[in-house]
Structure 1
Amino acid sequence: MIPARDMMPAELAALLHFYAEAGVDWLVEDEAVDRVAEFAEQRARGQRASAPAKPAGQGASAQATTSERARPSAERAAPRPVAPSQAPAIPDEHAITEARFAAESARSLDELKTALEAFGGCNLKTSARSTIFASGDPASGIMVIGPMPSGDDDREGAAFSGRAGLLLDRMLAAIGLSRDVVMITTVMPWRPPGDRSPSQPEAAICRPFIERQIELSEPKAVLLLGNFTARFFFGETGTIHALRGQWRDIACGGHAVPAIATLHPQELLTAPASKALAWRDLQAFKTRMDRP
């Protein structure tokens, strides 16, 4: 394996992206460290240091202890430094404040996209290839929102790529729509490592950006896809099966927008029997949009 110090910048970036897609969250030393043996040695040294002086007949043991104490501190085994936890570069409350200020300062979708791409207060950005932002035609008055980018989304730089995206295209076509004439985006602009669920601080930091996307797009109705998305906007902890199919208002920018939740295309690929439920939700959505 080529050492990291011998890699070109592009090669190192490709390797880091590979690790991120594989779900690697931590980097460790090149050589393994036996922490169990290290702890046992430290404990033994502590016991020898605290043991009472022994008679002269047992001088060999005492001499060994004295010799150990006399060793320079640099030669003694010391615990390796612990890697810092992956907390945001700035405290969560400050990151949320900065995200809110950046989002509210944008007066158009283009300005908001620029502000999001320049924002560095969320650690998810460091492991993602792409920043996912709303695409489509805001004039349609229709917005489709998913949870977080998938691996396909991260590679392609667009929401709902890959198999899930193809199924979404068919779902929209079934009610006379296409992704070209609706706004499509995700709650989280960056893919979490290993496709894990975002943490509460991560979701709170990204909230101002998705709410501002909705506010600037001015949709007449929003279709929410998946469990995380429904919980995020409805503020509830139920499953998507409990939250789907019900029209509710979500607050964005001081005004309410009607929204309905349904199953995510990836969930339908995993459980095709649920497509009947999704079809009912899509019909309800179409009925709402067909109103004068």
Structure 2
Amino acid sequence: MESVEFHTARALLEWQIELGADECISDTPVDRYALPDRLAKPSKPDPKPHLTRGPVKMAERDPVAEAQAAANSADSLDALRTAMENFELCDLKRGARNMVFSDGIAGAPVMIIGEAPGRDEDRIGKPFVGASGALLDKMFGAIGMGRANADAPIYITNTLPWRPPHNRDPKPEEIAMMKPFLLRHIALANPKVVVIMGNWACQALLAKRGITRLRGQWVEAVGKPALPMCHPAYLLRNPEAKRDAWADLLSLKAAVDK
């Protein structure tokens, strides 16, 4: 290698310093193109990483199975309420103020299944309050029944115990998750007949929707006679449907009296 004259070398060094190359990295140059191939090639992936190293992935929890187990363990309505209060896998619980369990008299011959709590239900912690609740009380009062009527009581709950955000429709996975609790609730309350109020209650218990077509037609749900009816909220928006609701109420009373 030819030597470089002192002044030339100094001029070159000063020029490199002006360019910013002012730090010596190594005493000897490194030929990057001459690196071994084994360092340039990526290593082969481990065909069985879960057997050789790294953390073991936890099995995903099945919310429906856990809800089923919790519901089956309840041998009373109080135990069922506690099981639902302790159930942590439904995201609706995180955004709700209160769990809405039931109202009325347990053991009543008529059990009403609503849809999901609204703002008033979430605030108070009871199903069917506010304008819808007032109409429901008038409807059943007209046939001599009521949630506080010891002689002809009714018992009320909802398909979902927690309010969906902004009163949105329930999601299918939310209904499926909470259905074991609903079925256990019906079994423990043991009514003579079940009133299925609204589309989402029909979806949960009958796997059908279209309440204006289903209403007034007696069916069987969870082994009991069941009558789909329009939800009071629907009747408030569509007053002309109250005539059909009255016919349904008379049919219900006849079935209970029989």
CA offset digits 1:45-93 (Å, max 9, x no partner):
xxxxxxxxxxxxxxxxxxxxxxxxxxxxxxxxxxxxxxxxxxxxx9986
Partner of 2:189: 217
Aligned to 2:8: none
Shift of 1:157: 0.6
Distance change (3 Å), C-alpha of 1:131 and 1:92? farther
1:98 aligns with 2:70: no
Relative to 1, partners in 2 of residues 1:91 and 1:124: Cα closer, same or farther, differing over 3 Å? farther
Deviations 1:113-145, CA, capped at 9 Å, x for gaps: 001001101001000111111222223221011
Gaps of 5+ in 2: 1-57
Corresponding residue for residue 248 of structure 1: 219
Equivalent residues of 2:170, 2:200 under 8 A apart: no
2:118 paired residue among 142, 150, 153: 150
SS at match of 1:183: strand
Residue 3 of structure 2 corresponds to none
Q: Flag the structure with larger Rg.
A: 2
Identity of aligned residues (%): 41
Which residue is equivalent to 2:249?
282
AA of the residue aligned to 1:138: A
Q: 1:182 Cα deviation (Å)?
A: 1.4
Correspondence 1:202 to 2:174:
yes
Is this contact kept in 2: 1:164–1:265, CA < 8 A? yes
Aligned pair partner of 2:107 in 139, 142, 146: 139
Counterpart Cα distance in 1 of 2:217 and 2:224: 13
Q: How far did residue 179 of structure 1 move?
A: 1.2
Q: Of 86, 102, 109, which aligns to 1:118?
A: 86
Alignment partner, residue 235 of structure 1:
207
Give the letter for the 1:133 counterpart.
F
Contact kept in structure 2, 1:148 and 1:186, CA below 8 Å: yes
**TM-score normalized by the length of structure 1:** 0.65
Q: Distance in 1 between matches of 2:233 and 2:165?
A: 18
Q: Which of 225, 240, 248 lines up with 1:258 in the alignment?
A: 225
Report if the CA contact (8 A) 1:134-1:213 is conserved: no
Q: What's the C-alpha RMSD, in Å, of the aligned pairs?
A: 1.5
Q: What residue is the counterpart of 1:73 in the other structure?
A: none
Greater helix proportion = 1
Residues in 2 aligned to 1:225 and 1:92: alpha-carbon distance in whole angstroms: 34
Cα distance change on mapping 1:167 and 1:217 into 2, 3 Å: same
How far the C-alpha of 1:224 sits from its partner, in A, is 1.2
For the 8 Å contact 2:67–2:178, the answer to whether it is kept is: yes
- The alignment covers a number of residue pairs equal to 197
Partner of 2:51: none
Aligned 8 A contact 2:140 2:146 in 1 = yes
Counterparts of 2:63 and 2:107, CA distance in 1: 32
Which secondary structure does the structure 2 equivalent of 1:259 belong to?
strand
